Chains A and B, each alone.
Chain A
Amino acid sequence: EVQLVETGGGLIQPGGSLRLSCVASGFTVSSDNMMWVRQAPGKGLEWVSIIYGGDSAYYVDSVKGRFTISRDRSKNTLYLQMNSLRAEDTAIYYCAKDATGSIDYWGQGTLVTVSS
């Protein structure tokens, strides 16, 4: 059974950094494209970043230069390093498994709150 479990969210001041982790089970993170999707409070879904099989990565314009997606094959874990956080980054961050033009599995999400 595929499972994705995110951790690492919390309350952080503007300008601060957080690293989100997503531990996968039931498949290998290095063999699939993986992504992060976020949802601001009471709002819709927004794709944030994706990492492909060859480790190439892409980001939504609003986080370019501030966020870095990566994965650790030995720990079967996906990461999102978030620097220079802003109030508008406040959201639930979901780890998700790409499935050729789709998303077939989502984690339960971890809440990031950027506030002073």
Chain B
Amino acid sequence: DVVMTQSPLSLPVTLGQPASISCSSSQSLVFSNGNTYLNWFQQRPGQSPRRLIYTVSNRDSGVPDRFSGSGSGTDFTLKISRVEAEDIGVYYCMQGTHWPYTFGQGTKLEIK
């Protein structure tokens, strides 16, 4: 199985400041059709996960534009340009290129 490794696992951030989470995969996530199926999910406390980003950089409907995804091959990044209080939670990357889908360990975003 493809191993997804996130860093950091804990991310204390000041409100209004930027935040960045890295995710690396043990294999290239480029699919045979040229797409890269790397996703980012947000899980707020007590809630189910919610998709923020798919195919590396495409934001879901309703996701604020302060969230952005980038990367290629095996290295990816989720950036929040200015952290707001509602962004508190755990962020997971997930690859959907290789079966089975696998998740990163999660990064807990907390306010300083």
Tally inter-chain residue pairs, CB-CB below 8 A.
57
Secondary structure of the B side of the interface? loop
Q: How far does the alpha carbon of A99 sit from the alpha carbon of B101 in the complex, in Å?
A: 12
Do A102 and B96 form a contact, CB below 8 Å, given A44-B103, A44-B105, A45-B103? Answer: yes
Residues of B within 8 Å of A94, CB to CB, are 48-49
The reply on A100 being an interface residue by CB < 8 A is yes
Q: What total of chain B residues lie within 8 Å of the partner, measured CB to CB? A: 25
Per-position binary interface string of chain A over residues 44-81, scored 1 when its CB falls under 8 Å from any chain B CB and 0 otherwise: 11110010000000101000000000000000000000
Residues of A within 8 Å of B105, CB to CB, are 44
Per-position binary interface string of chain B over residues 93-112, scored 1 when its CB falls under 8 Å from any chain A CB and 0 otherwise: 01011011111111000000
**Beta-carbon contact of B48 and A106 below 8 Å:** yes
Give the segment of B19-27, B50-58, B63-71, B79-87 that binds chain A: B50-58
Residues on B facing A (Cβ under 8 Å): 31, 35, 37, 39, 41, 47-51, 54-55, 60, 92, 94, 96-97, 99-106
Can you list 29 A-B contacts with CB-CB less than 8 angstroms, sorted by A residue number? A44-B92, A44-B103, A44-B104, A44-B105, A45-B41, A45-B94, A45-B106, A47-B101, A58-B99, A58-B100, A60-B100, A94-B49, A99-B54, A100-B37, A100-B96, A101-B31, A101-B39, A101-B55, A101-B97, A102-B37, A102-B39, A102-B54, A102-B94, A103-B41, A103-B94, A103-B96, A106-B49, A106-B50, A109-B48
